[in-house]
Chains A and B, each alone.
Chain A
Amino acid sequence: MTCGMQYQERISAYIDGELPGDESKELEAHMRGCPSCAALLDFYRLVSETESETRAALKIPEQLFKTVSERVSSMPAPAAAPVFSPAPPRARGITARRPASSRTRRKIGIRRLLPVACVIILLFASRLIRENPDNMAPKYVSGSMSSYDLRRAASPSVEAPGAAPEFDVSGELYSDDAEELAPNAAPSSDGAAKDPHLGAGSESSFTSGAAPMPAPEDIPEYAPESAAVETEAELEPEGADTAYAVIRIYGELPDMLLDKSETAFDGVAFSIEVTRAEADALIGELGFDAEFTGVESDIALVIHTP
């Protein structure tokens, strides 16, 4: 299509005004003699123009401002709810983090949360294909699946709807890691229960098979109604031992997540990019029965059952 990934990225950054001046000039000179790259620029420009035209035709509903103003006026001031206060010691009660809705929830700390309902699914998508410079087409893994089937479903075109148990926390990891990782780079994880509350027979169903999981006792109002997860992971030919995680936690968030993201609120999915070491630390802090197996199995499932 064009001269290669290096130019494709430059053209994309150029159209966004994010290419440094000297590189812009070099690219402009290149495009004057390269019709395919010039066509790519025209196409990117076309997409931007159509989106901006759509944007211009947008009308904001009047009730947005009205509703927000009314509800805010009846809500307690943020000062009364010291959410993520930087002043030590950090308030850790879930009540302090309750969102400004009428939703109610039991006050549970993360450590007390361990023996109760809390599940995190972290999907680590790793490369399925050996990097091929001539094949820039990303490979997609998609489908509607039960969390129990996530590892199997990491293979393309596998769909396993089936009966799904209920979870109250879910997350996904999209991996940017497509480098060939050394086999010994995979963290050792035997899948054994790390949480003393889980016991020997209560390792995750991911590692122990499709054993039925008891329904969580404390599902907040906006918990997913089903564990059926639609996941789609792109395996990008770019290399870093990191993964893009979308995580939802019902309960108190560990400091590591609070430090990494200022929009890590309980009950709403938020995204972070984590390294393997950070993921291991996160898993360790949360105390979930977990493993990080992005290398061998394409997708790793981190799960803590009630």
Chain B
Amino acid sequence: MKNKGAVISTIVIASVAVILALIWALILSARVVNPTAKIYQDGKLIKTIDLTAVAEPYSFEITGEHGANTIEVRKGEIGIIAADCPDKVCINTGFIGGGAIPIICLPHRLEIRIESGEEALDGVAR
């Protein structure tokens, strides 16, 4: 009788483990998102762009109290192509489509970061 109880208990634990593993897998898959560009101005999120949903390249301008930046969006990547800042570091960074490297226009307090769900890197030395 005791053995029978142990067998049932083991079967229940195994079943619960399988169910929980499936739930975990679902949670993990839900975390993976399309590469998304997030544009911040003065530390505040002002625009979110799904880079996989770009049919044709396009550009737009973001103007703030510190100056203006022209941003170009292509399928899978984004970059700053013009800016009236003095150092042009933002333009020189080029186009980004993943990883942990942001585009930063420090004089204009503008940042573009990619959220891809891959989380391949925690930081980038530069």
A and B: interacting chains: no
Interface residues of A (CB under 8 A from B): none
Residues on B facing A (Cβ under 8 Å): none
